Amino acid sequence: MLDICSMDGKTRANVQPGMVVNIILKKDQRTGELTEGIVKDLLTNASFHPHGIKVRLTDGQVGRVAEILDENID
């Protein structure tokens, strides 16, 4: 089991394609509303971002990772 620090979406190494995550879309930044989906692409090249790593979901939506829900990758 991973500790809480390693489960945040702010570190690029913790986010990989195929993971189930909650993201915050640009239009939802004020409300903080979360959108669940599966990571398709990582769009942030930096190893860390204070607001979360930017990703594209399999349905095409783009946002920053707020939570990693499932790190099991097959």
* pTM across the whole model: 0.85
Q: How far apart are CA 63 and CA 8, in angstroms?
A: 15
Q: Hunting for tokens 């930096």 — which residue is that?
A: 46
Q: Which residue has the higher pLDDT, 10 or 71?
A: 10
pLDDT class for 72, splitting at 50, 70, 90? Answer: low
CATH number of this structure's domain 4-70: 2.30.30
Task: Report the DSSP beta bridge partners of residue 64.
Answer: 24, 54
Per domain, the residue ranges of the chain are 4-70
pLDDT tens digits for 17-67?
A: 999 999 999 999 999 999 999 999 999 999 999 999 999 999 999 999 999
User: Does the pLDDT at position 73 exceed 80?
Assistant: no
Q: How far apart are CA 43 and CA 31, in angstroms?
A: 23
3-state secondary structure of 55: strand
Of 29, 31, 23, nearest to 60 (Cα)? Answer: 23
